[in-house]
Amino acid sequence: MQYKLNESDAVLYGAGMEDSPAININGMDYMASVTDVTYGSDFMNYTVSVPDFNVQIGYRFALEGQALVRTITDISGPGEPNVQTVRITSPILKVKERQAGNGAAWYADALTDRIGGLSTLGTSNQLTPWAFVYTSGAVGAVYNNLPVTPFKMVVAKEAGQKYAAIYDNAYPYRFKTLKPGVWFESKTYIGGDTNANGTIDWQDGAIWVRDQLPPMPAELKDFFRNGGNWSQTHMAFPPIEHPDSRIDDADDAVFRSCRATEEIVLSNGWIVAAEL
Please, which of residues 134-163 interact with Ca ion by CB under 5 A?
none
By the rule CB under 5 A, 195 interacts with Ca ion = yes
By the rule CB under 5 A, 192 interacts with Ca ion = no
Q: How far apart are CA 266 and CA 236, in angstroms?
A: 15
* Nearest-approach distance from CB 98 to Ca ion, in angstroms: 22
- 25-29 own/partner pairs: CB under 8 Å, 24+ apart: 25/50, 25/53, 25/55, 25/83, 25/84, 25/85, 25/86, 25/87, 26/82, 26/83, 26/84, 26/85, 27/85, 27/170, 29/89
Site string for Ca ion, 199-228 (x = CB under 5 A): x----x------------------------
- CB nearer Ca ion, residue 196 or residue 276: 196
- CB nearer Ca ion, residue 16 or residue 192: 192
Alpha helices in 46-180 (DSSP H): none
Q: Which stretch binds Ca ion (CB under 5 A): 23-31, 38-46, 61-69, 186-194?
A: 186-194
* Nearest-approach distance from CB 196 to Ca ion, in angstroms: 7
By the rule CB under 5 A, 8 interacts with Ca ion = no
Q: Which stretch binds Ca ion (CB under 5 A): 58-66, 79-87, 105-113, 193-201?
A: 193-201
Q: How far apart are CA 90 and CA 70, in angstroms?
A: 13
Report CA Rg, the chain: 20
- CB nearer Ca ion, residue 105 or residue 170: 105
Q: In what order do the strands lie in the sheet with 22-25?
A: 28-31, 22-25, 85-88, 171-172
* Nearest-approach distance from CB 130 to Ca ion, in angstroms: 17
Among 193, 206, 246, 247, binds Ca ion (CB under 5 A): 193
Q: How many residues bind Ca ion (CB under 5 A)?
A: 5
Helix (H), strand (E) at residue 16 = none
Using CB under 5 A as the criterion, which residues of the chain lie in contact with Ca ion when the complex forms?
193, 195, 197, 199, 204
